[in-house]
Amino acid sequence: MAEPIISADNLDLFYGDFQALYGIHLDFQPNQISALIGPSGCGKSTFLRCLNRMNDMIDGVTITGTVQFHGENIYSPQTNLVELRKSIGMVFQQPNPFPFSVYDNITYGLRIAGIRDKQKLDEIVERSLKQAAVWDEVKDNLYDNALSFSGGQQQRICIARVLAVSPSVILMDEPTSALDPISSAKIENTLLELKKDYTIIIVTHNLQQASRISDKTAFFMEGRVVEYDDTTKMFVNPDEKQTEDYVSGRFG
């Protein structure tokens, strides 16, 4: 098996006195889609945010343990957070394009990085929007406000915005739960294409979605990982009774 691209070890997280994660150990392989599932409040989003230090922005959070990205602990004081979040990008539940043009959304991170060459920016805009499977729908309106597009198109524009800065890992927190089934299906197909080049870790409440698109599934409960295995095994023949009860809809 390949070396994990990102791996959490013995990760505990506290919001003030409340412990939300207990001793999480999870390895993620490159070019796979891994789904994080479990009942509401079990810590999926909290864990996902640990993987690019988004919890740093929340007051009163304490984290112990390690998250290694390409073998380096991202919680080391030497970590450059801007670089980290370029390498490990994030897409949220609600599409959140900036309130300006599609073109400026996609080039935002590149301009911050000092890229000014118009031809290069144009190329990256086209490539990213194509990878996010939204190019055909927006190519004639690149200078329209991104908020004037549908929710599903906005979410794919947000995916393109992450892709533009060449990440290697994409974290997704319920990226389709605010979308209609057709838009969701388009995003699922996009993710299956993207995994050839990227590693994707996705929180989802939609068990059918997890079983359709993910290679691995981690089942969380009350801040702990109950089971983590190949998705097919998790849904057909899990080791743990709690997993079986959850994936068969007996609770949650």
Ligand X SMILES: Nc1ncnc2c1ncn2[C@@H]1O[C@H](COP(=O)(O)OP(=O)(O)OP(=O)(O)O)[C@@H](O)[C@H]1O
The DSSP line for 34-45 is EEEE-STTSSHH
Q: Which is nearer to ligand X, 21 or 164 (CB)?
A: 21
Q: Which is nearer to ligand X, 11 or 157 (CB)?
A: 11
Query: Of the candidates 54, 57, 71, 75, which has an alpha carbon nearest to the alpha carbon of residue 11?
Result: 75
Q: What is the DSSP letter of 168?
A: S
Q: How far is the CB of 161 from ligand X (least distance, A)?
A: 23
Instruction: Tell which one of 42, 90, 121, 179 touches ligand X (CB under 6 A).
Output: 42
The answer to whether 45 contacts ligand X (rule: CB under 6 A) is: yes
Query: In the bound complex, what is the minimum distance in angstroms from residue 93's beta carbon to ligand X?
Result: 8
* Contact stretch for ligand X (CB under 6 A) within 37-45, 124-132, 134-142, 194-202: 37-45
Stretch that binds ligand X, among 34-42, 132-140, 151-159, 188-196 (CB under 6 A): 34-42
User: Any contact of residue 41 with ligand X (CB under 6 A)?
Assistant: yes
Q: Which of 156, 155, 149 lies closest to 132, judged by CA?
A: 156
Half-sphere exposure of 86 (CA within 13 A, CB side): 13
Q: Does 15 bind ligand X (CB under 6 A)?
A: yes
Q: Strand pairing of 88-91 and 169-173?
A: parallel
CB of 242 to ligand X, least distance (A): 15
Write down the least CB distance from residue 15 to ligand X, Å.
3
| Least separation in angstroms between CB 125 and ligand X | 32
Residue 176 touches ligand X, criterion: CB under 6 A: no
46 is a site residue for ligand X (CB under 6 A): yes
**Residue of the chain from 26, 34, 35, 44 that contacts ligand X (CB under 6 A):** 44
Q: Which amino acid is at 77?
A: P
* C-alpha neighbours within 13 Å on the C-beta side of residue 168: 13
14 is a site residue for ligand X (CB under 6 A): no
**Other Cβ atoms within 10 Å of 122 Cβ, number:** 13
Sheet (strand 33-37) strand order: 88-91, 169-173, 199-203, 33-37, 216-221, 224-230
Task: Please count the other Cβ atoms lying within 10 Å of the Cβ belonging to residue 126.
Answer: 15
Q: Which of 5, 20, 102, 201 touches ligand X (CB under 6 A)?
A: 20
Instruction: Please check whether residue 79 is in contact with residue 122, taking contact to mean a CB–CB distance below 8 angstroms.
Output: no
Check residue 219 for interaction with ligand X (CB under 6 A): no
In angstroms, the CA 149 to CA 146 distance is: 6
Interacting residues with ligand X between 48 and 77 (CB under 6 A): 58
Q: Is 251 in the site for ligand X (CB under 6 A)?
A: no
Choose between 20 and 164: whose C-beta lies nearer to ligand X: 20
Binding site for ligand X (CB under 6 A): 15, 18, 20, 38, 40-46, 58
